[in-house]
Amino acid sequence: MTEPATHSPDAAVGTPTVDAAVRVVDLVKDFGSDVHAIGGLSFDVPRGELTSIIGPSGCGKTTTLKVIAGLAEPTSGRVEVEGRPVTGPGPDRAMVFQDFALLPWATVLRNAAFGLELKGVPRRERESVAREYVAKVGLAGHEDVYPHQLSGGMRQRVGLARALAVDADILLMDEPFASVDEQIRRKFQEDLLNLLSDEDKTVIFVTHSIEEAVYVSDQIVLLTRGPSTVSTVVRPGLDHSAGSDSVRRSTAYLDWVERIWQELESYLEN
Amino acid sequence: MTLRGHRVPMVFSLLVWLVIWEVLGRAGWISLIPPFSEVLASFGEVVSSSSFEEAARITLQAFGIGMALSFAIGIGLGILMGTSRAFGSLMGMWVNIFESSPLTAVVPALMALLGFGLPTMVVTVVLFSVWVIALDTQVGVERVNPSLVEMGRSFGAGRRRLFSSIVLRAALPELLAGIRLGLLRGLKGVVIGQLLIAVVGVGYLFELYSRNFLMPEFWSLLIVLFAFAFLASEVVGYFERKVSFYASSR
């Protein structure tokens, strides 16, 4: 197999990251005494980059993200954000949910402003910030409609606007495009990258799609089957300046997809 | 309802039944049913009488206090049952038993304990209405999408805020259904309580009219009660319809 042109994956493995926004250290998570979801997970998330977590289904990707979000307690080990151990949710992290988690009784604008509303930001101020992000995610003109009047893709844009509006440094995305049609998904991936290029965010992105992970990520953490550990960490870091179509056709992109597929395949066979 | 392709207003079916009532009453087969025109004639007299005013005041007072207590206790109990699995299974059996048991039997015992006045009526209202409110609140809270709660927590909502801004709001369709049913049961409770006590309120008037065989007055009073129950249920129903759109999309 030919090595992808940009970086050598093997060289990236185990390289200590100097500037980590988030560090996951020996994370273990059991549910009860029988289910061992995560069995000793360690990786660093470099600041200002997009890191994907990918692995076989049921490997504890979402659980890992919830521990980082402070929504679940680790059985042992820890997560550090900016060097401080996570003890619960905090304003430094904002989450985008797989099922959108929008308030069905609230308009798009109020949903996008809801993170700020919970922080006690006055109405006028939070609505002007939310209006700005609703426009940035491409929903200008839909401020006053309700979530059930929107398609799945548009709902997730509201979820993204809500997470961006609170201006957290770290964005946690739990399979954000899993409930979105394939065609819309690609457009959404491009829009996400464009949006993030203006914002100085560290993103942790959980997905089960290899193509998606390779397309959006600076770094990909591959997990083994549960109780999961880090199988390998790779850095595709594709050059997006040539436009999305040429990225998806480039040898580097295709080689990375193939390489990760082979890595994961070994866990699927038995 | 449509008849041969024409839309027939709802009032029409009411009119049909009133005509049947009038015919039955005039035929005089059943002494309990006077013609509707006679009921109508006595209606104004009943409603404007001072004994009715007194009865309505006492009844509304007991009903109001009882329902306020029922909302507070029922919704609180329902939230606890819906959020704590242990508490839910501890209380679930008892709440279900009380919900389905003939609580009328308890009222005489209450009288012995609390006397013939307001406390007995209030407790009767609570006993009749609180269980359905608790059960519906529990169902509503249990159906709240867990990811909405996670969303609230992740954006920094405390426990209190989670309940007021997310959980109770999301449980509103079931909560309102419980409140509507609770209001109707509470109304039954206050009248049954007064009937058993037999010396106060609307129950006393029913007792008085039926003992003296004043059937037009008796029916007039019943119509007032029907109308009140219908109105209460429709008011809550109006709000229920406003939130029903998200009962299916939570």
Q: Is the pLDDT of residue A169 over 90?
A: yes
pLDDT in tens, A87-105: 999 999 999 999 999 999 9
| Chain A CA closest to residue B172 | A105
Q: Which CATH superfamily is domain B34-244 in?
A: MetI-like (1.10.3720.10)
In this predicted complex, what is the ipTM?
0.86
Cβ–Cβ below 8 Å for B166 and A103: yes
Alpha-carbon distance A54 to A98, whole Å?
A: 15
Q: Is the pLDDT of residue A4 over 60?
A: no
Domain range annotation of chain B: 1-33, 34-244
pTM of the model: 0.81
Alpha-carbon distance A194 to A189, whole Å?
A: 9
Q: Is B50 at the interface with chain A, CB within 8 A?
A: no
Give B244 or A5, the one with higher predicted confidence: B244
- pLDDT band of A36, cuts 50, 70, 90: confident
Helix/strand/coil percent split, chain A, to 5: 40, 25, 40
**pLDDT value at position A18?**
59
Q: What percent of chain B has pLDDT above 70?
A: 97
Q: Is the pLDDT of residue B33 over 60?
A: yes
Cβ–Cβ below 8 Å for A166 and B249: no
Cβ–Cβ below 8 Å for B151 and A71: no
Q: Is A91 at the interface with chain B, CB within 8 A?
A: yes
Alpha-carbon distance B135 to B226, whole Å?
A: 25
Cβ–Cβ below 8 Å for B153 and A71: yes
- Chain B from 162 to 221: CB within 8 A of any A CB: 165-166, 169-170, 172
Q: Is the pLDDT of residue B48 over 70?
A: yes
Q: What percent of chain A has pLDDT above 70?
A: 92
Domain range annotation of chain A: 1-92+170-235, 98-167
Q: Measure Cα distances from B7 to B4, B11, B14, B131, B208 in Å.
A: 8, 12, 15, 40, 43
Tell me the average pLDDT across A209-230: 88
Alpha-carbon distance B116 to B108, whole Å?
A: 10
Coil, strand or helix at A77: strand
Task: Give me the residue from B147, B161, B250 closest to A118, CB to CB.
Answer: B161
Q: Is the pLDDT of residue A5 over 50?
A: no
Alpha-carbon distance B222 to B209, whole Å?
A: 11
pLDDT in tens, A96-150: 999 999 999 999 999 999 999 999 999 999 999 999 999 999 999 999 999 989 9
Q: Is the pLDDT of residue A220 over 70?
A: yes
- All residues at 6 or more sequence positions from A81 whose CB lies less than 8 Å from its CB, including other chains: A21, A22, A68, A90, A92, A93, A170
The answer to which of A108-117, A214-223, B30-39, B167-176 has the lowest mean pLDDT is B30-39
- List the one residue out of A39, A40, A48, A1 whose CA is nearest residue A20: A48
Cβ–Cβ below 8 Å for A94 and B145: no
Asked if A41 and A26 count as a contact pair (C-beta separation under 8 A), the reply is: yes
- pLDDT band of A7, cuts 50, 70, 90: very low
| Chain A CA closest to residue B173 | A105
Q: What average pLDDT is seen over chain A?
A: 87
Tell me the average pLDDT across B211-222: 90
Q: Is B157 at the interface with chain A, CB within 8 A?
A: yes
What is the second-level CATH architecture of the domain A1-92+170-235? 3-Layer(aba) Sandwich (3.40)
